[in-house]
Structure 1
Amino acid sequence: MSYLVLAISLFLLILIYFKVADHFNIIDKPNERSSHKDVTIRGGGVIYLFAGLALLIDDFATYWPFVAGLMTIGVISFLDDVFTLSNRIRIVFHIAAVSLLFYFLAVFTFHLVWVICLYVLVIGIINAYNFMDGINGITGLYSLVVLLFLQYVNVSQVHFVGEDMIWYPAIASVVFLVFNFRKKAKCFAGDVGSVTIAFWIAGLLLQLIIQTGNYTYVLFLAIYGVDTILTIIHRLYLKQNIFKAHRLHFYQILANDRKIPHLYVSTLYAVLQAIVCVIVIFNGSVLSFAGVIIPLVIMYVALKPKLMKPATV
């Protein structure tokens, strides 16, 4: 499928989805934990499922296990957007989806201990990505940056996957951003969007790491990773339930406590991740971990208390 045809098709499909969502009242209502004030259509991230189906149409024999996993985790996430499902139901489908991904990547040929560790890592990435989806533009823009740098590696350094497997979600991200990267967003990604693109990117990164043996590529998710992990530690320190909604992520402090416009914060996260990706690509050594992670941790720990309102510390 040509990229222009795909872009036009996704654009039309998301417009159709808006009609369906409006009819069935699939909306996001703001609450005390939200970073938005207006009722907005939820589930615009369904566009990533459409991109997956396009990939399947192009090459069923190659991509069916991956797309089957994508659809499994995407559909259950969409149902969670609509009905709110229990954690137990979601985790069963997440494990099933990741199992299909591992079949696609031949992960089950690894030692059992590695397989278990990879289950924890991939499911952790998926949930972290979901936690980070809280302001306009952040999921689409951050994902687009990561995908573009993955494509650069794929084309210029080591060919680890078919180019369409990266271009399709990148195009979907651009189309989604047309409606989400706004002061007043037309739609939010919803769990279906953040979880599905997280699954897609995690699969691409895992394939790259397996093929190259270079673990520093995990830093392609460094900004999200540091914010998520340190926020969990912060909440544990405050004796909070880490599974409940909150407003303690660093990006939430910037957007909610400091009132920095969402699009500025989203752009900041995307730019910082782009810088990290450049460092990894041109200095992909073990020292990259220290050179990237330590400054990010220092900035988080030093700046967050100063930026927070006293009541939220």
Structure 2
Amino acid sequence: MGGGLVICVLIALAFFTSLAFTGFMAAAGLSDVPNARSAHSRVTPRGGAIGVLAALGICALALPHLIPNLNFLPSFTPFLSLVFAVGIVGLTDDAMTLPTGLKMLVLGLICALAVWAIGPVTQLPIGTESLSLPYVLGFVGSVLWLFTVTNIVNFMDGSNGLMGLSMSVAAFALFGISVSSGAPLSAVLALIVGAAIVGFLPYNFRARAKVFAGDVGSLVIGFTYAGLILLLISEAPNSSPVYAGPLLVLPFLADGLLTMARRAMRGERIWQAHNQHIYQRLIRGGRGHKNVAWIYGFLTLIMGNIVVYGATKGWLTSPLILIVPVILLSVIYIAASKRLPQ
């Protein structure tokens, strides 16, 4: 089977598996009852993005048959198992609402196991040189990367289409950077994740969503994306893709982390549920769900183009490729925060 046909088969398998499971959850999913911080006003099923998890599992089973020569890294099976562990945590939280402390503890443990299985980031590229990090520092930093992205994606999943559109763009950009880095396993997995998220969007990316992703969806998508960055670095250590990871999800990280910092400065509990993210305030200011999703999706697309184009120009070895967008998005956040309703 030719490479182009294999890619089409994988995209179709991931898309239709996700579409089918999402449709099932739309009909029989757990109910999400709106509360004071919700951006919706009617009871809506949740857990729809369990289809992404199903697509990952089915495509993983098909991969050895579709691409028999694919080099499966030793960390592939442990990583995939931990993705399903995150899915169990998310589904349990959707069903019975786990205590926040317990949920964070379990997620932290899973993140640590993932870094142990894949390996930590211990080299930061700085131009033609690289900064070597002590193993412990690299390990802790990698765990924090996984834990932060997993939770930020979950926090940003509060508006129809927002999380799905942005993370599908990030996944496809990750596919592009993986191909250019010579990392076929990472490329294939990123493609599967992107197609699976697109399979969820027809039910969610609308003015009135038929189903929400739920924690089982947003936690799995966030964890899988962050883990794929570590997998890419492990598979192609000489391609210096370290800065690509945060850059592709920078719109989410900027909104999530700066909002947490803002709440911390006001003495609020940063892990407590709230509705102070910029995307939530945009909706309260009169922007519709789809418009807000397009804004974040467009920003993510810009980041994706910077990463993919930057890879061809050798820019990914410079910290400036991350520092400059961080400063720009921080300025945008501060400006928007002053103008939008609380």
Q: Note whether the superposition's TM-score is higher than 0.5.
A: yes
- Alignment partner for residue 320 of structure 2, among 266, 287, 290? 287
Asked if the contact 1:223–1:269 (Cα under 8 Å) also holds between the matched residues in 2, the reply is yes
**Is 1:150 matched up with 2:174?**
yes
Which runs of 5 or more residues in structure 2 are unaligned?
Answer: 1-5, 65-71, 123-133
Distance 1:276 1:145 in 2: 10
- Alignment partner for residue 81 of structure 1, among 61, 80, 94? 94
Q: One-letter code of the match for 1:90?
A: K
- Alignment partner for residue 26 of structure 2, among 6, 18, 38? 18
Residue 97 of structure 1 corresponds to 110
Residue 244 of structure 1 corresponds to 272
Which runs of 5 or more residues in structure 1 are unaligned?
Answer: none
- When structure 1 is superposed on structure 2, of 273-282 and 130-139 the one drifting more is 273-282
Q: Relative to structure 1, is the Cα distance of residues 66 and 55 closer, same or farther in structure 2, using a 3 angstrom cutoff?
A: farther
Q: Secondary structure at the match of 1:186?
A: coil
- Alignment partner for residue 118 of structure 1, among 138, 142, 145? 142
Residue 248 of structure 2 corresponds to 220
Asked if the contact 1:55–1:164 (Cα under 8 Å) also holds between the matched residues in 2, the reply is no
The aligned runs of 1:137-286 (5 Å cut-off) are 137-159=161-183, 161-210=185-234, 211=237, 212-217=239-244, 218-256=246-284, 258-281=285-308, 282=310, 283-284=315-316, 285-286=318-319
Asked if the contact 2:14–2:199 (Cα under 8 Å) also holds between the matched residues in 1, the reply is no
Residue 58 of structure 2 corresponds to 54
TM-score, length of structure 2 as denominator length:
0.82
Asked if the contact 2:34–2:42 (Cα under 8 Å) also holds between the matched residues in 1, the reply is yes
Runs of 4+ in structure 1 deviating by more than 4 angstroms, as ranges, are 59-62
Distance 2:20 2:254 in 1: 36
Cα deviation for residue 122 of structure 1 reads 1.1
Cα deviation for residue 294 of structure 1 reads 1.1
Q: One-letter code of the match for 1:159?
A: A
Cα deviation for residue 300 of structure 1 reads 1.0
Distance 2:192 2:319 in 1: 31
Cα deviation for residue 207 of structure 1 reads 2.6
- When structure 1 is superposed on structure 2, of 241-250 and 175-184 the one drifting more is 241-250
Q: How many percent of aligned residue pairs carry the same amino acid?
A: 28
Distance 1:116 1:107 in 2: 8
TM-score, length of structure 1 as denominator length:
0.90
* Post-superposition CA distance 1:276-299 (Å, at most 9, x none): 222233243222223211111111
Q: One-letter code of the match for 2:136?
A: L
Asked if the contact 2:121–2:139 (Cα under 8 Å) also holds between the matched residues in 1, the reply is yes
Task: Tell me the number of residue pairs that the alignment of Structure 1 and Structure 2 aligns.
Answer: 304
- Alignment partner for residue 39 of structure 1, among 43, 66, 78? 43
* Post-superposition CA distance 1:176-196 (Å, at most 9, x none): 001000101010011111100
- When structure 1 is superposed on structure 2, of 82-91 and 186-195 the one drifting more is 82-91
Distance 1:177 1:148 in 2: 15
- When structure 1 is superposed on structure 2, of 1-10 and 191-200 the one drifting more is 1-10
Distance 1:205 1:7 in 2: 22
Cα deviation for residue 78 of structure 1 reads 0.7
**Is 1:298 matched up with 2:331?**
yes
Distance 2:297 2:121 in 1: 33
